[in-house]
Structure 1
Amino acid sequence: MKVSLGPKTIALPTPTWLVGTYDAAGKPNIMTAAWGGICCSKPPCLTVSLQKPRHSYAAIMERRAYTVSVPAESQVVAADYCGIASGRGTDKFAACGFTPVKSELVDAPYVAECPLIIECKVIQVLDLGMHTMFVGEIMDVKVDEAAMRDGKPDPQVIKPIIFAPEDRHYYGLGADLGLAFSIGKELKGA
C-alpha cells in the first residue's frame, strides 16, 4: 500500500550543483542548487531554478549565462556552505578554497576543483511562482581527465552528491546496476 504525502518537492535523486555566476560588479559567485536537470537533447539543455531574492538570480538575468560545477562527495561541506552563505557579502570561492575559472564560452565562472563542469547560455526564462527556471543551452561539458573511462565521464570516479529534499540529507552515488537500454532486453519478449 502506498502512503499519500500530498504535493511536495520530492523527486529522487536531486542533484547538488554549484551554479556559477558573475555579479554586477564582476565578482565570481557560486550557489548550491538542487532544482535542476537535463531538459532537452537537441539542442542539449539544462535547467536550474532559483528564487528571485537570491544573489545569483540577478546575475543570471543580467549576464544570461551560468555554469554548473558538479562537486564530488569529498566536497560536500563546501557545497553545503555555498547553499547557506550569501554571495552578497561573502567570497564563497575563497571561503571554500575553490579557484574561479572564467569560462571562455559563457559569461560565468566555474569551480576548477570540481570534476565535472557544464557551461550554459540562457535561452529561456520561465517564471513558475516561487522559483524562476533558467533553461541553458549547454555550450560545453568539461571533465577532469582522471574522471574519464573509455572517453566518457565515470560517475564512480566523479562521485556526485545527491540531495534528498524531504530528509535534507546528502547521499553518495550507489552501485552500477547495469547497462541502460540493454539490461531490459530480457523482458522484451515477455
Structure 2
Amino acid sequence: MTKIELATSKLYFGFPIFILGYKDDKWGYNYTTSSSSYTLGSELNLGVSKHSNAVKQIKKNGCFTLNIPTEKQMKQIKIGGFNSGADKFNFPDSFHYKKSDLIDAPIITECCLTLECEVTQIIDSEAVSHIFSTIKRWLVEDTLLHEQQLSSFQLNPVFYMGDSHKRIFRYLTE
C-alpha cells in the first residue's frame, strides 16, 4: 500500500441510497436523496448536510421516513438528490406518497421498505447534522418477507459509491 495525503473531502465505499421523507412547511411534504445511515436495533442514525432543507424541516417537526428505492427508481432518486428546497413530489415522474398514520411524514409508495422514525437527538458538526432516531414501525413489501422476517436476499437497494470527484451508483446482481 502507498500512503497518500487526504485525496478527497468525502468517501463513500458503498452505502445504500435512501429517500428521506419529511413534513415541509413550504410544500406540505417533501423528500431528499441521501446515503449516510446505519441501524442498530430500533435505532437509526443519519448524517445529512447541516444546511439542507431536509435537516431544517426534520429539526422542526421531529420525525421522518427512511424509504429504500431500487434501480427502477433512478430518475426519482436523482430528482431528490439534485433539487434542494424544491417541491419534489410535484416534479414530472416523481415519487408518490401517502401520509403515515403514525407520524407526520410521507411514506413513498414506490419504495420496497419504509422506516417511520422519531428524532431523539440531533448533533451538528461543522457541515453535517447527525440525526439520531427511534424506528417506530417497519413497512416492508410482501415480496421481501419470508416467514414474517425480512429476506435480505430479496432486498436489492441502489448503492452509492464515490467521492468528491465522481458519483457512482451500483446494483447487486443475481
Task: Write the distance in 2 (CA, Å) between the matches of 1:173 and 1:3.
Answer: 31
Q: Given the two structures, how large is their TM-score scaled by the length of structure 1?
A: 0.80
TM-aligned CA distance change 1:147 to 1:58, over 3 Å: same
Task: Write the distance in 1 (CA, Å) between the matches of 2:152 and 2:71.
Answer: 11
| Counterpart for residue 171 of structure 2 | 172
| Counterpart for residue 57 of structure 1 | 55
Secondary structure, counterpart of 2:135 in structure 1: strand
| Counterpart for residue 22 of structure 1 | 23
Task: Write the distance in 1 (CA, Å) between the matches of 2:88 and 2:78.
Answer: 15
Q: Given the two structures, how large is their TM-score scaled by the length of structure 2?
A: 0.86
Greater CA drift, 25-34 or 137-146: 25-34
Q: Structure 1 unaligned runs (5+)? A: 176-190
| Counterpart for residue 149 of structure 1 | 146
What is the aligned-residue identity percentage? 20
Structure 1 segments (4+ residues) deviating >4 Å: none
Following superposition, the deviation at residue 174 of structure 1 comes to 4.9
Q: Aligned runs of 1:24-43 on 2, under 5 Å?
A: 24-25=25-26, 27-38=28-39, 40-41=40-41
TM-aligned CA distance change 1:74 to 1:154, over 3 Å: farther
Q: Structure 2 unaligned runs (5+)? A: none
Alignment partner of 1:102 out of 81, 95, 99: 99
Task: Write the distance in 2 (CA, Å) between the matches of 1:13 and 1:143.
Answer: 22
| Counterpart for residue 10 of structure 1 | 11
Alignment coverage as a number of residue pairs: 171
- Residue-by-residue CA offset, 1:27-73 (whole Å, 9 max, x unaligned): 110100112222x32xx111222223311111101110011110011
Task: Write the distance in 2 (CA, Å) between the matches of 1:136 and 1:95.
Answer: 31
Q: Larger relative CO (CA 8 A, sep 6+): 1 or 2?
A: 2
Larger Rg: 1
Following superposition, the deviation at residue 12 of structure 1 comes to 2.4
Task: Write the distance in 2 (CA, Å) between the matches of 1:17 and 1:27.
Answer: 20
Q: Aligned runs of 1:65-76 on 2, under 5 Å?
A: 65-76=63-74
Greater CA drift, 112-121 or 153-162: 153-162
